[in-house]
Structure 1
């Protein structure tokens, strides 16, 4: 890649990542405004959950259509359109004074959010070499998740100081900025458009069916389903009320835990990106290990007698946060098991997984909280610790279901690889090979440098 093209590629990527960061900010603003929303709209827990469930339902429902459209129209058009929709959604929510009007705003935000991430990922194969893509994919997710800090710190500050309408107007202005940057800086590829004929509707349907039949796409779907949803449910909806109202954590400390969530993702993302690049046959093993860590984290917190200590809540947040960059492995399955012409479609299928699990889990938690309140179990407190524990425990069902489906999909992928002559060695054997390789590299570095040679161990 030449210097000028390399510079241009990073400019395009930066504009796309900025749009994704803004999308995450818009996605998470309502989660930190849950208590204010309850007062503004007079909503119950299940009604409050509907706001985010509708947003995620639209997001999940649009993933396949967006994947098809990005393969057909390109990333720039969808990123620009998404920024416009999110701006309109936040403007609607800023002035909404009823549950119905607020839900319309979140619906628009969900639709705009749905177009952004897939479109940004679709830019990477067009602008960068394949070896760079796993790490850049992780950095896309990492930088985008900084939007959570935007909603937790400055948005919360504006909300508490100036109130509901100014806070959501400020959020809408961010989407206007993303709209301008995407329109002026993003191009779909380094080459000029050839003017080729877009695929027909029938060809699009065939591409969609082929992407679904590919076992690697389904492995990506279930990987995303399993380890993406716990962090999304926590950050997007129930984490903040749980920490503040049930666990009795001060608001400042709760914001610190939410910031820790993002910080852990920033640290783990590049590590996981390098892991994926070096060990492509061990990607699903990492997914299952992260699922186990999340399950263990929730069990330790939910089974603790009395309010959990701060250090234990921090460990839970760390486990949940690893699931964010870990779920990006799912998109690497979509990229490597599908041709470039249907990467967007396959990515859309994969992206459904985590958000479908998120919206169902999120709504189930709200319903359980309302049932426990109506039954008298909560003793008049909607967000009591005992009620939240039972409600949050429902996530374990989705974790077990997702891990089982991931194992089934992995077996099918490995059978497919075996027919192509690729055999996945047992973990013990793979570890032994890696250790042997490192020993060889270490030994070569210790060899004396021959006279006249600029490189050790070579003549």
Structure 2
């Protein structure tokens, strides 16, 4: 019988030097995945002209992408437990390459949506598989920090989409930009097949499960309150960062705040840098204070919501310093959402890590796709024609209040349940206001 880790467990396994090499390749795969994921967000006017799309239709591209990503998280998590991260990462990279090649040739909305679906399917296979490498090859004390580094270094992919990919798009053109992205995907897939290894011999391995065992493991992971606490933590911290980075941040800065495109791109780059700087600090806080993780989640939500409240209350255009603060606060949501995966790891036995991680990862995607869709609907309703007005953006961004309310309620409820579970397993930690 496998026993789930508790927040106070200290395992003796050490980190082998090869772990850093494998992690490096995994990070490269995740950087490429973020490039593919965010590539459509920089198309802007080019996509409008190429496909003749409104704000609602453009939002649908990203919503469909996130819907596929979220819907595949649980199947991918179960598959990860069965086949290992090497084949999952390589397969995901090649799928994304195929999707980008299809996008390079797309001239109609249905074909472009199909391309984003293929990209999303490959993207869904990547991140939790890289986390599988981290969990299997690194000493447990290192896992929260290395996982944070994984998440924040992956955001370099957004820099690649915002600068070189955008330059290709505005220079050689649509086909060259997305064709280059496809070529990168093939390169990463071949690298993953050549270098990556599945967990070491000494690590806990599970036999290939039967369909009945898969269903039982999935139900067990969902019934674990810590898994659901991870889902809601991921949901409430990540949705606004994803909405800003994947779809509406750039249009908001340009059309809603009157910024020059170059300045807006600089702020999006600052967004990525803030992720990279904040992530390791958040990881260290989680590692040093595992019994205060939910308070860190709620604190990040409070900072994020406060920055949005001040910005939206300010008559546009807001001063540059305030927009910089907004971007820095929104950026905290991405590394903050990684706390959800730490719940999945510590509240479930190794054989259920893939399933639990998939459940958690679905939370952030669902929150983002709902918010992106709602923002697009409000923009269409409040904007004349296809022109995004500052007032329309102010109205549209207020939909986040509803999503925050649902997310915080989910965190508070599942935190109580997780504490009861921990009190049963580890009374001393529970008396210290665990989780």
3-state SS of paired residue (1:352): helix
1:407 is matched with 412
How many Å separate the matches in 1 of 2:233 and 2:286? Answer: 14
**Equivalent residue in structure 1 for 2:320, among 310, 329, 332:** 310
**Equivalent residue in structure 2 for 1:422, among 418, 428, 431:** 428
How many Å separate the matches in 1 of 2:203 and 2:358? Answer: 24
3-state SS of paired residue (2:171): helix
How many Å separate the matches in 2 of 1:220 and 1:368? Answer: 30
2:3 is matched with none
How many Å separate the matches in 1 of 2:204 and 2:257? Answer: 59
How many Å separate the matches in 2 of 1:35 and 1:297? Answer: 29
1:398 is matched with 403
How many Å separate the matches in 2 of 1:190 and 1:322? Answer: 34
CA contact under 8 A between 1:369 and 1:382: conserved in structure 2?
A: no
Is residue 383 of structure 1 aligned with residue 409 of structure 2?
Answer: no
Q: Report Cα offsets for 1:248-288 as digits up to 9, x if no partner.
A: 11111111111111111111111111100110010000000
Deviation, 1:67, is 0.3
Deviation, 1:34, is 2.5
2:181 is matched with 171
Q: CA RMSD in A?
A: 1.9
Deviation, 1:317, is 0.6
TM-score between the two structures when normalised by the length of structure 2: 0.94
2:159 is matched with 149
CA contact under 8 A between 1:34 and 1:48: conserved in structure 2?
A: no
How many Å separate the matches in 2 of 1:346 and 1:195? Answer: 16
1:13 is matched with 23
CA contact under 8 A between 1:34 and 1:237: conserved in structure 2?
A: no
Deviation, 1:360, is 1.0
Q: Report Cα offsets for 1:60-84 as digits up to 9, x if no partner.
A: 0000000000001111111111111
1:80 is matched with 90
Deviating more after overlay: 188-197 vs 166-175 = 188-197
Is residue 204 of structure 1 aligned with residue 209 of structure 2?
Answer: no
1:233 is matched with 243
CA contact under 8 A between 1:32 and 1:156: conserved in structure 2?
A: yes
2:45 is matched with 35
TM-score between the two structures when normalised by the length of structure 1: 0.89
Q: Report Cα offsets for 1:210-243 as digits up to 9, x if no partner.
A: 0000000000000000010101000100111111
Larger radius of gyration: 1
**Equivalent residue in structure 1 for 2:57, among 47, 61, 86:** 47
Deviation, 1:411, is 0.9
Please show how residues 322-401 of structure 1 align to structure 2 within 5 Å: 322-373=332-383, 378=384, 380=385, 382-401=387-406
3-state SS of paired residue (1:6): coil
Deviation, 1:390, is 0.6
How many Å separate the matches in 1 of 2:93 and 2:211? Answer: 26
Unmatched tracts of structure 1, length 5 or more: 431-459
Is residue 105 of structure 1 aligned with residue 115 of structure 2?
Answer: yes
3-state SS of paired residue (1:187): coil
How many Å separate the matches in 1 of 2:430 and 2:209? Answer: 36
3-state SS of paired residue (1:25): helix
